[in-house]
């Protein structure tokens, strides 16, 4: 059975498993079949997932278009989160939080998603130039007009606290990378979320897939798979070997609870970060079903301690 929470500072009830839309952009994810993506969205909904997260930059709009195609008339039954702030022009990528760009980005996202409102509109990255007050004013304007129901943050760090703390209670959520393979943003998703009254959301929840248990030391990836790049450290060098040790520690726990290894990785987040949401990308129905297996049970205190220790 799916678990649900209400996002802070809102009346928006969401599943604690949120299907991430990056694979729907169909770029850098290896072999991706659109029909499988459409089927995956529908299987997710049939199994209680009502929360879908995407961004205008995923596949340069392709992800939003694919999500809209998958949802069809079911759009009213789900919560859609998307992001703005990563701008691509003339082959160059940069951050832009200016009110003028927010207006353009919002208009384009509404069109691609084939909807007249977005449930959670998120700042993808801060641009380091636009005052946060100007961003909030723009978002409040679109909220008053009904174009967005709420707004959230993404990739925010401790040094951003001073500019954000006067807006505590305005944002409903904050997402950042966190998993058994990546603990470096833990402060942001615990203390910072509490100070800003936010619901923590985690991306990279399966370490780009390394925590699914399907890889060994000989794993390799094609040039069209982002994990072949050194920047995806979870699959390279000593970090990869460490992640495989974590997977081996999860295997007996998975057997004990009769769930996939990936479900143990997600359950750790759900138990460790109270009232959190885990974002998980999926390319096919079997993957989202494996992710959903992380709900409606809990790790024991000893299992949490064991996984906590080996992943630090």
Would you write out the chain's pLDDT as a tens digit for each of its 312 residues? 999 999 999 999 999 999 998 888 877 666 778 999 999 999 999 999 999 999 999 988 999 999 999 999 999 999 999 999 999 888 899 999 999 999 999 999 999 999 999 999 999 999 999 999 999 999 999 999 999 999 999 998 888 989 999 999 999 999 999 999 999 999 989 988 999 999 999 999 999 889 999 888 877 777 777 777 777 788 888 999 999 999 999 999 999 999 999 999 999 999 999 899 999 999 999 999 999 999 999 999 999 999 999 998
In whole angstroms, how far apart are CA 5 and each of 14, 47, 50, 212, 235? 6, 16, 11, 25, 33
The H or E element spanning position 243 is: helix 237-257
Catalytic residue list: 58
Domains located in the chain, CATH noted: 4-311 (3.20.20.100)
Contact 250, 261 (CB under 8 A): yes
Quote the CA–CA distance of 94 and 137 in Å, as a whole number: 22
Contact 110, 121 (CB under 8 A): no
Q: What is the pLDDT of residues 208-240, one digit of tens each?
A: 889 999 888 877 777 777 777 777 788 888 999
Q: Is 144 left (phi over 0), alpha (psi -120 to 50) or beta?
A: alpha
Contact 67, 54 (CB under 8 A): yes
Count how many Cα atoms sit within 13 Å of the Cα of residue 125 in the half-sphere of its side chain. Answer: 11
Quote the CA–CA distance of 33 and 30 in Å, as a whole number: 10
Contact 243, 210 (CB under 8 A): yes
pTM of the model: 0.94
Q: What is the pLDDT of residues 287-311, one digit of tens each?
A: 999 999 999 999 999 999 999 999 9
Q: Is 134 left (phi over 0), alpha (psi -120 to 50) or beta?
A: alpha
Q: Where do we find the tokens 């990279």?
A: 204
Greatest extent of the chain over all pairs of C-alpha atoms, in Å: 54
Q: Can you point out the beta strands (E) in the chain?
A: 4-6, 13-15, 17-20, 51-53, 79-84, 86-89, 92-95, 118-123, 148-154, 173-177, 199-203, 277-281
């Amino acid at each position: 059975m799916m678990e649900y929470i209400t996002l802070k500072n809102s009346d928006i009830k969401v599943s604690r498993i949120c299907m991430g839309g990056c694979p729907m952009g169909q770029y850098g994810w290896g072999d991706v079949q659109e029909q499988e993506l459409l089927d995956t969205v529908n299987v997710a909904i049939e199994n209680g997932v009502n929360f879908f997260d995407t961004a205008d930059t995923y596949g340069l709009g392709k992800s939003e278009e694919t999500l809209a195609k998958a949802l069809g008339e079911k759009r009213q039954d789900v919560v859609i989160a998307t992001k703005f702030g990563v701008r691509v022009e003339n082959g160059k990528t940069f951050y832009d939080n200016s009110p003028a760009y927010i207006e353009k980005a919002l208009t384009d996202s509404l069109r691609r998603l084939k909807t007249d409102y977005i449930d959670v509109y998120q700042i993808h990255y801060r641009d380091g130039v636009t005052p946060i007050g100007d961003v909030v004013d723009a978002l409040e304007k679109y909220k008053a007009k009904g174009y967005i129901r709420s707004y959230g943050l993404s990739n925010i760090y401790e040094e951003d606290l001073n500019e954000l703390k006067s807006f505590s209670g305005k944002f409903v959520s904050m997402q950042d990378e966190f998993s058994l393979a990546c603990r470096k943003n833990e402060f942001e998703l615990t203390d910072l979320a509490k100070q800003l009254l936010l619901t923590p959301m985690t991306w990279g929840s399966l370490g780009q897939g390394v925590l699914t248990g399907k890889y060994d030391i000989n794993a390799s990836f094609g040039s069209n798979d982002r994990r072949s790049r050194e920047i995806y450290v979870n699959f390279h060098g000593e970090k990869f070997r460490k992640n495989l040790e974590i997977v081996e520690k999860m295997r007996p726990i998975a057997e004990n609870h009769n769930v996939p290894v990936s479900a143990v990785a997600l359950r750790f987040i759900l138990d460790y970060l109270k009232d959190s949401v885990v974002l998980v990308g999926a390319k096919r129905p079997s993957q989202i079903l494996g992710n959903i297996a992380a709900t409606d049970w809990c790790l024991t205190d000893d299992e949490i301690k064991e996984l906590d220790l080996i992943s630090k």
